[in-house]
Amino acid sequence: MKKAWWKEAVVYQIYPRSFKDSNGDGIGDLNGIIEKLDYLKLLGIDVIWLSPIYKSPNDDNGYDISDYEDIMDEFGTMEDFDRLLKEAHDRGIKILMDLVVNHCSDEHKWFVEASSSKDNPYRDYFIWKDGKKGEYPNNWKSFFGGSAWEYHEETGQYYLHLFTKKQPDLNWENENMRKDIYKMMKYWLDKGVDGFRMDVFNMYSKKEGFPNVVDNPNGIYINGPKIHDYVKEMNKEVFSKYDIMTVGEAPCVPSSMGYLYVGEDREELNMIFHFDLMDMPNDSSDKFNKIHWNLKDVKDIFMRWYEDLKDRGWNSLFMNNHDQPRMVSRFGNDKEYRVQSAKMLATLIHTFQGTPYIYQGEEIGMTNAYFESISDYRDVETLNYYKEKIEEGIDEGTLIDKIKLTSRDNARTPVQWDDSENAGFTNVTPWINVNPNYKYINVKKALEDKDSIFYYYQKLINLRKENPVIVYGDLNLIYKDDKNIFAYVRKLEDKEILVILNFFDKEVEFNIPKEYENKEFNLLINNYEIKDTVNNKMTLRPYEARVYSII
Ligand code: TEU
Ligand code: CA
């Protein structure tokens, strides 16, 4: 297995709006991030992935960019950014930028030009079509509700927007557009940023003729016909010229296709984020239903991606981000076993093969917000969904019950720094309410408690640094069909470690596999106090996690 710094790294995602407010306007900002760099250093992470910080009218919290080379007013200035980059680098922390170039904002100068007349040179930077007898050009749907086409009165054509109508899709067929994007990427790389997380990159290519979607959009506007040409071109023109890390966000990519994007000989990307875990169960296309999972599927997904990329590509590992419910609320137990289950899940992410991603607040076990009233929600996806369903006649209570569990705002409440008013995030009313549980779940408390989730993450990160087997070792699933336990052995040359995870709130028996019965076991990390030495049989407590090195 080829070595690389980005395989050994642990990444921490910051959603700047909710991280730390430094100037008392209720919105997180760049100076707030600078204030907390020492905290991140203490945690031990290597890379920060910054969700978008560029100029934006914030229709989708910065994922609608109106100037790629300037900073959002609420977040600060370019001087603040330069200082952040320097302060991070001084601490040995790298910075990954969010690259959102499937679409931009309708307030970007390119779109303003493009919509001024049909023969404007920028017209073709976007995707315009005539209506079909007064109807939409085709049946494509926006991810955030309704048609993906918006009629533009002044020029009498529709433009494509796979997300909100304030996020027009860029036309990747246009070579000048692509060159402008590469130029912009180099602007950031020349400043010294360390790579990109690429927003929905596998939607850049749209199928010629713009056919209706029949079953699903795969091959039409997801993983479209020219996607590999575009990524390869970007790699050649930009990535290959720098020592950087790239990770593409890739909804609807099956593991069998993963290699095509991240194969070591493919000259495309280092890693992708697949959504197999986030999209469980597969029998529903409604995102607001997708919170049910079972351990068999979880194991299958981890193993499938491991096997399909083994020795020829690299995985990313995550169980939440700014678009998903909180990990401990979804896959763990945020009530009686919050601490134990948060640590157990972290053990999986940090001892499986791949690069671990931590989403802000995860390291203290922040939970879903479970807001009860629609007036507490801010996210455009949630608000559009609510409106659409209310219009369809769905009852408000049923709807809120679903939104409470699935809304992206669950992940977007402010980071809970201490137990003072507004959780130490701000000294005014924040842009979105804090989770009321900040009184007992907060960073200050975690730092004072040696058994906290925070110190467990710190230890996991250290273990990874000290044990190359955790990064590069092969992986063997054991007890594949066990309904309660996820367990595997990692092996690199003569080093072997055993990971045992009880995924549920019941006690369960675990037998050391026959071939290891006479070995010696040395405990590396565990989320409960363990007094006994290892017998061939052990009883695991609710959500218990143990990692042993085998001697
Ligand atoms: O998300 C891409 C995406 O596919 C979303 O529809 C995602 O599945 C959804 O948010 C889950 O609820 C990316 C960004 O991560 C997201 O924040 C943006 O809103 C979106 O692209 C548009 O840029
Ligand atoms: Ca602020």
- List C-alpha distances in Å: 117 to 109, 157, 391: 13, 11, 35
Report the CATH number that the domain containing residue 143 is assigned in CATH.
3.90.400.10
Q: How far is the CA of 537 from the centre of ligand 1 (A)?
A: 45
Q: Which of 49, 199, 410 to mutate to test ligand 1, by most ligand atoms within 8 A of the CB atom?
A: 199
In a domain, 484, yes or no: yes
The runs of H, that is alpha helices, within 419-482 are: 443-448, 453-466, 468-472
In a domain, 341, yes or no: no
Domain end point (choices 160, 179, 197): 160
Locate tokens 């960019």: which residue?
A: 65
Query: One-letter amino acid identity for 421?
Result: E
In this prediction, residue 283 carries a pLDDT of: 66
Report the CATH number that the domain containing residue 496 is assigned in CATH.
2.60.40.1180
In a domain, 338, yes or no: no
In a domain, 129, yes or no: yes
The runs of H, that is alpha helices, within 310-452 are: 327-330, 338-351, 380-391, 396-406, 443-448
In this prediction, residue 134 carries a pLDDT of: 85
Separation between Cα atoms, residue 308 and residue 299, nearest integer Å: 14
In this prediction, residue 536 carries a pLDDT of: 85
111: phi then psi, degrees, rounded to nearest 5: -75, -35
Q: Whose CA is closest to atom 7 on ligand 1?
A: 323
In a domain, 147, yes or no: yes
Check pocket membership of 178 for ligand 1, CB cut-off 6 A: no
Query: One-letter amino acid identity for 137?
Result: P
Q: Whose CA is closest to atom 11 on ligand 1?
A: 323
Locate tokens 């020219």: which residue?
A: 226
Among 19, 27, 86, 16, smallest CA distance to 54 is for: 16
Residues serving a catalytic function are 199, 249
Among 45, 67, 46, smallest CA distance to 56 is for: 67
Count of structural domains, the chain: 2
In residues, how long is the chain?
551
In a domain, 535, yes or no: yes
In a domain, 128, yes or no: yes
* Residue 308 near residue 259, CB atoms below 8 Å: yes
Domain that holds residue 121: 109-160
In a domain, 259, yes or no: no
Check pocket membership of 409 for ligand 1, CB cut-off 6 A: no
Domain end point (choices 160, 187, 219): 160
Q: What is the pLDDT along the chain (551 residues), one digit of tens a residue?
A: 899 999 999 999 999 999 999 999 999 999 999 999 999 999 999 999 999 999 999 999 999 999 999 999 999 999 999 999 999 999 999 999 999 999 999 999 999 999 999 999 999 999 999 998 889 999 999 999 999 999 999 999 999 999 999 999 999 999 999 999 999 999 999 999 999 999 999 999 999 999 999 999 999 999 999 999 999 999 999 999 999 999 999 999 999 999 999 999 999 999 999 999 999 876 667 778 777 899 999 999 999 999 999 999 999 999 999 999 999 999 999 999 999 999 999 999 999 999 999 999 999 999 999 999 999 999 999 999 999 999 999 999 999 999 999 999 999 999 999 999 999 999 999 999 999 999 999 999 999 999 999 999 999 999 999 999 999 999 999 999 999 999 999 999 999 999 999 999 999 999 999 999 989 999 999 999 987 777 789 999 999 999 999 99
185: phi then psi, degrees, rounded to nearest 5: -60, -40
